Amino acid sequence: MTARRQKKTKSGKAVRKQKKTPVKTALEEKEPKEKFEVEFYRDWCKGCGICAAFCPAGAISMNDKGEPEVSKPELCTGCTWCEIRCPDFAVQVKEKKEGEVCEA
């Protein structure tokens, strides 16, 4: 006879203890980095900063010259909020092909 301890509830019924499996978050999963490429058309961009303000991942920031740049490309999720919100149509988000993905 095995001596297993079972947790009992207030009603006195035995409850089996379930194994907890760890849940992986998106950051913990090993996905290729830099899956998306963000291009800025500098001739069209007026440096308003809307793309950086609407980036939910924080991948885009404004540089010293007041121009947008992708400061953290590995954080880009490809949501295209920067592209959608740009009033000058100066941003384009492209998905990189498997051969182009950088795994730095």
Joined together, the tokens standing for residue 100 give 């182009």
Higher pLDDT, 29 or 78: 78
pLDDT attached to residue 96: 86
Q: Which residues contact 93 (CB under 8 A, 6 or more apart)?
A: 36, 37, 38, 39, 76, 78, 80, 82, 83
Joined together, the tokens standing for residue 43 give 């001739």
Q: Walk me through the domains of the chain, giving residue ranges and CATH numbers.
A: 32-95 (3.30.70.20)
pLDDT attached to residue 71: 94
Whether the per-residue pLDDT at 32 is higher than 70: the answer is: no
* Alpha-carbon separation of residue 41 from 31, 70, 101 (angstroms): 28, 13, 22
Whether the per-residue pLDDT at 17 is higher than 70: the answer is: no
Higher pLDDT, 81 or 15: 81
pLDDT attached to residue 97: 80
Residues 54-85: pLDDT tens digits?
999 999 999 999 999 999 999 999 999 999 99
